[in-house]
Structure 1
Amino acid sequence: MDIPALLTSAGMNIGISVGMFSLYSILRKQPLNVKVYFGQRIAQGRTRNENLCFERFVPSASWLLKAWEATEEDIFACGGIDAVVFLRIVIFSIRIFAIATILCTFLVLPLNYFGQGLQGIEDSTALDLLTIGNVQEGSRWLWAHCLTLYVVSACACCLLYFEYENIARMRMEQVQRFPTRPSNFTVVVRGVPWSSVETYSESVGKFFSNYYASSYVAHQIVYRFGAVQQLLEDAERMYKVMTTVPVMANVPADQCCETKVDPRCGLCGAKSSSFKKVSGGSELAGRNVDDELREKECEAALVFFRSRFDALVVSQTIQSADPMLWVTELAPEPLDVFWQNLCVPYNLLWIRKIIVFIASIVFSVLFLLPTTFVQGLTKIQYLQNAFPFLRRVSDRSYINLITGYLPSLVLTVFLTIVPPLMMLFSTLEGRVSRSTRKRSACVKVLIFMFWNVYFSNILSGSWIERMGKLTVTSPKDLATLLAELIPRQASFFTTYVMTSGWSGLSCELLQPVPLVGNWLFKCVLMRDDDFVRPVTFSFHTEVTRVLLFGLLGFTFCILAPLILPFLLIYFCFAFLVYRNQIMNVYFVKYQTDGSYWTLAHNATIFSLILTQVVAGILFGMKKSSSASTATIPLIICTALFNVFCKNRFLPLFRNRAAIDAIEMDRTDENSGKLQEIIENLPKAYNQFELCGDEMQIPKVEDAAQPDKPKKSGSSESLEELEIVQPEDLSVDQPSPSSSPSPSPSPSQSEAEDKIVSIN
């Protein structure tokens, strides 16, 4: 790819981004789009009237200012600790790549340009002159690259340590901030052994009453997902029969029916006889319902304990000699429970994981086809000998569009199917909570992106350049090949950052699918119901994109520094866009308590070590043995730093501190709140209610505060309002004393003339 193709891609992406940003600033002010762009505010029940004014149809950037001025407490109030951690990942990327951009732009980039190492090479382009490949062999300038690598690595490790420490502290404070969470007293039990004489419910009650008599309170068996609603409807119909038939039984016999009827029907005849028949039928119906419930029982249950410490101990111990039976873990929050997977037999989970692992590998291999096609678009000149008709295409004026903008666009389109598929794979693995399922999908998407977007693009691009003569016989050959080929792919990844990053942020703001669907529902189909439903933040998509760009930034910082300014622009705009979306659009239903940071830490360490290994090999290929040897201590220090962080902070993300649990138990017991919390535990995990509405919004107490009086004569728009600061943050689940209930939403007649208050 040459400079005109890169400029074509930059112009296309800049035009698309500016146009969509301007369109968003207009559409967000229209009353029809309130539920598209302010779903999070609607979940809090915040609306107000908005008069028609000219300012609603003029683009403005005031939403950027509001996103910039929002504090971390505001983000926590709207999106919870996971949203704060995600933004901390973005902030870390801004800091480290700002340092790398300054160093590499003013030190490394000029040395690469004036290196004169590519003179006489025919297939080199103008962009290759800005890479380390243009530095001559044995040049002393390579020490500047090595020094820059040391500085960037040291800064990255320092920033990682401080972020790890702060997020670990936030995670510990999260437990103390919401002490009445029902999950603190609840344990999920799976692998309940089958018995021919006892039901699963009786087995669970007998087991924990025998071995945990002093701490066991009650239990709730889990029923097969999908049958819960049918059982609930049957119970409602049975209730109607039981309440209406006795009324008919009170009717005199001479007014009812003169025809002789079998007295077993229970509808005609004497009062006493009819009543006895109905009572007997209701008892039989009750027994039928109980029998049907027993048939729907799963080998899983939720067990409630008297204290947090008791639940913590039970969740972290093996209950029997057979580790496949009586498997325990701390329960997720009520709205976080994935009831469908709780019904999966525990002894089948390992088979599901193997199947998912094989399916992921097969999908990754199949995805090499679109990856190779994308690289073929960027290197049409290398395919002209094999495909002569491409010579006519390469002579056209639109060749810069084909080689510059189109490959990254095609790759971005193909990658849209990856997150939903990985979410499906994570569901099949049997995760018992929605938060862990999304985090598992995030891991799968990240591994897929690292391999199929980064490594496979590099290898397939090299294979096309050499027309099938690429051979790798050992890991050493692969490392040498990567060191040689990574700088040559810098231009493609630069265009990918612009297409997937810049244009992706504009699509994230505009929300095209909910926007078009809402217009069709309201304006074309004239439907009263809403197309837009509350949606949660797609961490498995956005976290992986940020970490993938981090990998590109680290690996190209000294090899091809031209990509760094484009990355820095993306991270700066991502900081503002995601803050706006978290505060206005996405609804928080469940949390992972900041566990995405461990994934970000591991991905960053991998990126650093890969960068150092590639740089060391490349220094050796450039016949600078001293610079190559100097990277070995850097690799060792980075690995030791990773081990230190894992020993120091990782246990805080895997387990809960017993001291905190004991102290909270003592505090609640002294204040008399502990007994009240225990009594309301079974109500919080009511499967019949929680399965009735998968996107049930928890009711937030004291969240609706009176609006500030509006000044007369002012045309206040959406951006001029402040952020809601509820006393009881909506990011946490409701207390056990109150069962989850959906928040009120405005009616259809009010939705057209009301605007969400960002207050």
Structure 2
Amino acid sequence: MQLSALLTSAGINIGLCSLLFSLYSILRKQPSNRNVYFGRTLAQMRSRRHDPHWFDRFVPSPSWIMKAWELPEEEILAIGGLDAVVFVRTLVFSIRIFSIASIVCMCLVLPLNYFGKEMQHKVIPSESLEVFTTQNVKAGSRWLWAHTLALYVISCSACVLLYFENKSIIKMRLAHIGGSSEKPSHFAVLVRGIPWSSEESYSDTLKSFFVKNFPSSYLSHHMVYRCGKIQKLMKTAENMYDKFSNHNAQTGCTPCDFCRQPNAFSILPNKPEVTEGGKIPHNMNDLHAGGKECAAAFVFFKTRYAAASVAQVVQSSNPMLWVTDLAPEPCDVYWSNLCIPYRQFWMRGIANIVATTAFLLFFLFPVALVQGLANLEKLRRMFPFLKGILEKRLVSELVTGYLPPVTLVLFLYMVPPLMMFFSTVEGSISRSGRKKATCCKVLYFTIWNVFFVNLVSGTVITKLDGFPSIKELFNDKLYPGNLPTNLADRAVPALVKFFMTYVLTSGWTSLACELVQLYPLLCNFINKFIFRKDHGPFDASWTFPFHTEVPRVLLFGLIGFAFAILAPLILPLLLVYFSLAFLVYRNQILNVYLFEYDSGGRYWPIIHNTTIFSLLLGQIIAVGLFVLKQSPVCLGFTSVLIGSTVLFNEYCRRRFHPVFRYIAAQVLIEMDQQDDQSRTEEIYQQLYRSYCQLEWITYESSKSRFSGNSDNGGCIRQTEGTEPGKESVPGNPS
């Protein structure tokens, strides 16, 4: 592939990005699109309608860029919680490390790669991309020390930056825990696997167990019910309400006219009244009786330390009974999974692994198709009737430089929804846990298929005709023991063209599409201008897609570390991507997405571990390079660097990561000691109401009518409703 093909792809993507950015700056000013581009803001306050004759609305402007740039981290923390701050910090870290890598590699490594062999160079646009890679460095070159130096600078800078990011995020997490002294989850434990007894109910069995074993700290409990029938009834009531509302709008009748009818509905109170002692009245118990008790319950304790101690201890000689976990926040509970019998979880885990593996194998075919498109000679052999078309320069540049990454991106769109389904089947007890599990699955899938399978399939397609035999798989070219050498010699330099165009397509253009919000914009247009429906200003609000954006950012980081010294031309493209992502995502956090729950920064260990893996991968590829280029001195220095990186990761794993898994007892004890008697009693009174299952179902149901959010059940206060367990405060957004 010539550099001109890359420039063609870059030109197409730059044109698309410029068009979409300009289109966004106009569309965001239109009153009809306010619910698409300001969903988070409108979820907390109603904005005034703009003057429809304001002509500035149709002129592109960069004002959103300045607002995103000036957004302070404290406001990001207040809007999106610690998870949003961690995501933005990841982008800042990427900008810093790849700025360093770009300066070092473009100034030091790239010229040595370009002049690595004595040859007659062409005009730069006509040069092959392989000329700018280590493939152009001759064996035994004395200039390979520059590659080693660049690798050391990048690795040491990454480790130093990671260390300070770990310290900063740990400090924010401890402040996040200590600053939320009235969180009900600190006093609550989720208990599953309650033994069944024919003599008494689950509730009586649980109370007897905790009164006997924790008499001084046990406070009360709240059972989990199977409320499928209640949910269906409430859904039916919603549909009836919508029909009556539409009928009243057409006929001019009012709800009061309907209520005067002899068969009018009686409205149940939205919140159960909690009596002294944390018990609900008799009529609410009758309503709960409509759902069958599950072998799960929320148990409340008098102190935070007692709840944490119970959650982290095995309660029975049979580990599958009396299973305890720290309870998620009330707004974070995934109620549908609480009734899954605990004994099913291991079977669900095995089924999940089998299904995920099958999907991984299935996805080999799209990846092989993509690599087939990237290889022009193979296309000419497979489709001889296209030979004349493919010989045209513009067509060949489009096919090899633009079509493969676009095809792969389209195939990848099916991955996140399927992984979300797998994570739901696994039985996550919280919405944030489900999204975090989906993030891990999408990350593993993306790294495996986009990076490794592309490398392997590209090498196989290049070196072999058709499918390889067993003998060919174990020859000198493809034997797994030669993986570092194969990556350094053939796969990475040969596929640099694909990954550079992938950064342009899946990076730059995808960011522009993220900013414009094409799917919500299309839905909003259809609803308002075709079906003439307007369900209020919150019908296009979505939670932030950590499960798709975190893997995307980390994949580009992996590509950058793997290609840094082998193909430095990719680094400026990555730096532009991370800079654009910094502005785009800050704008989306400020205006678009809702943050309904917060895991407390638990995405950071995933980010840290993936970054270390990317560093080690780049160093291992460098080992293969130095073996191939016959440079034992550089090989020895790189081996020392690998060992140092592993030791650094082990230190971080022991020093920082436990804080993300557990809450320090010291912090909880200090919070318990700071509570006075009146404040503690107030917290006790809120505990039962906060985890009232019926109340949350009512809230989710009412919220879904005013929000198009696909992940309901959050803590964001809507204009039309109030978060369960809390009183609404006019003008005070949550």
TM-score (norm 2): 0.86
Structure with bigger gyration radius: 1
Aligned to 2:69: 68
The 5 Å alignment of 1:137-536 reads 137-229=139-231, 290=286, 293=289, 296-396=292-392, 397-466=394-463, 467-468=465-466, 469=468, 471-472=473-474, 474-484=479-489, 485-530=491-536, 532-536=539-543
C-alpha distance in 2, partners of 1:332/1:212? 21
Corresponding residue of 2:627: 620
**RMSD of Structure 2 on Structure 1 (CA):** 2.7
Match of 1:27 in 2: 27
Shift of 1:291: 10
- 8 Å contact from structure 1 (residues 609, 638) kept in 2: yes
Using the size of structure 1 for normalisation, the TM-score is 0.83
Inter-partner Cα distance in structure 2 for 1:112 and 1:235: 70
The answer on whether the counterparts of 1:535 and 1:586 sit within 8 Å (CA) in structure 2 is yes
The answer for the alignment partner of 1:276 in structure 2 is none
Change (3 A) 1:82 1:108: same
Counterpart-to-counterpart distance in 1, 2:524 and 2:236: 35
With over 3 angstroms needed to count, the CA separation of the structure-2 counterparts of 1:553 and 1:488, relative to structure 1, is same
2:97 maps to which residue? 96
Partner deviation per Cα, 1:693-745 (whole Å, 9 max, x = no partner): 438779xxxxxxxxxxxxxxxxxxxxxxxxxxxxxx969xxxx9962589999
- Residue 391 (structure 1) shift: 2.0
In the superposition, relative to structure 1, how do residues 60 and 200 fare at CA in structure 2: closer, same or farther (>3 Å)? same
Letter in 2 for 1:521: N
- Cα drift, residue 513 of structure 1: 1.0
Pick one of 729, 739, 750 that aligns with 2:725.
Answer: 739
Q: Distance in 1 between matches of 2:455 and 2:57?
A: 47
How many angstroms apart in 1 are the aligned matches of 2:629 and 2:18?
Answer: 43
Which residue number in structure 1 is paired with residue 616 of structure 2?
609
The equivalent residue for 1:571 is 578
- 1:161 Cα deviation from its structure 2 partner: 0.5
Q: 1:144/1:737 Cα in 2 relative to 1: closer, same or farther (>3 Å)?
A: closer
**Which amino acid in the other structure matches residue 596 of structure 2?**
K
Tell me the amino acid that sits aligned with residue 428 of structure 1: V
592-601 vs 226-235, greater mean Cα deviation: 226-235
CA contact (8 A) 2:373 2:379 kept: no
Task: Please name the residue that 1:715 is paired with.
Answer: none
Post-superposition CA distance 1:486-531 (Å, at most 9, x none): 1211111010001011111111111111111111111111113258
Please give the alpha-carbon distance, in whole angstroms, between the structure 2 residues aligned to 1:649 and 1:423: 28
2:649 and 2:480 mapped to 1: Cα distance? 23
Cα distance in 1 for partners of 2:283, 2:530 equals: 51
CA deviation after TM superposition for structure 1 residue 535, in Å:
1.1
Alignment correspondent of 1:257: none
Give the match's secondary structure for 1:297: strand
In 1: Cα distance, 2:347 partner to 2:680 partner = 41
Question: Aligned pair 1:583/2:590, yes or no?
Answer: yes
Secondary structure of the corresponding residue to residue 218 of structure 1: strand
Give 1:233 shift.
Answer: 9.4
Q: Residue 638 of structure 2 aligns to which amino acid in structure 1?
A: T
SS in 2 for 1:694: helix
| Cα 1:376–1:314 shift into 2, 3 Å | same
Counterpart residue type for residue 623 of structure 2: G
Q: Residues 230 and 290 of structure 2 are in contact (CA less than 8 Å); yes or no, is this contact kept in structure 1?
A: no
Q: Is the 8 A contact 1:697 1:743 kept in 2?
A: no
Q: Deviations over 1:84-137 (max 9, x none)?
A: 0000000000000000000000100000000117889xxx96100000010010
8 Å Cα contact 2:235/2:701 also seen in 1: no
The match for 2:558 is 551
Where 1:221 maps in the other structure, the secondary structure is strand
Deviation of 1:387 after TM superposition, in Å, equals 3.9
1:6 maps to 6
> For 2:220, what is the secondary structure of its paired residue?
strand
Identity percentage of aligned residues: 51
Where structure 2 has 5 or more consecutive residues not aligned to the other structure, the ranges are: 239-281, 705-714
What is the alpha-carbon distance in structure 2 between the residues aligned to residue 679 and residue 90 of structure 1? 42
Between the aligned partners of 2:33 and 2:325, the Cα distance in structure 1 is 43
Per-residue deviation at 1:234? Answer: 12
> Are the counterparts in 1 of residues 230 and 291 from structure 2 also a CA contact under 8 Å?
no
The separation in 2 between residues aligned to 1:183 and 1:133, in whole angstroms, is 57
Letter in 1 for 2:601: G
Q: How many residues align?
A: 661
Q: Any idea what the Cα deviations from partners look like across 1:450-489, whole Å, max 9, x if unmatched?
A: 1100011111111111224562475312332222211211
Give the whole-Å Cα distance in 2 for the aligned partners of 1:126 and 1:553: 20
Q: Which amino acid is 1:509 matched to?
A: L
Change (3 A) 1:730 1:177: farther
Measured in 2, the distance between the counterparts of 1:111 and 1:357 equals 46
Q: 5+ residue gaps in structure 1?
A: 237-285, 699-728, 746-756
Counterpart of 1:483 in structure 2: which amino acid? A
Change (3 A) 1:192 1:118: farther
My pick for the range that moved more, 379-388 or 310-319, is 379-388
Q: Distance in 2 between matches of 1:383 and 1:316?
A: 59
Q: Which residue of structure 2 lines up, in the alignment, with residue 752 of structure 1?
A: none
Q: For 1:585-600, what aligned pairs fall within 5 Å after superposition?
A: 585-600=592-607
The letter of the residue matching 1:352 is R
The CA distance in 2 between the partners of 1:413 and 1:230, in whole Å, is 36
Distance 1:314 1:682 in 2: 19
Correspondence for 1:243: none
Q: Tell me the residue number matched to 2:47.
A: 47
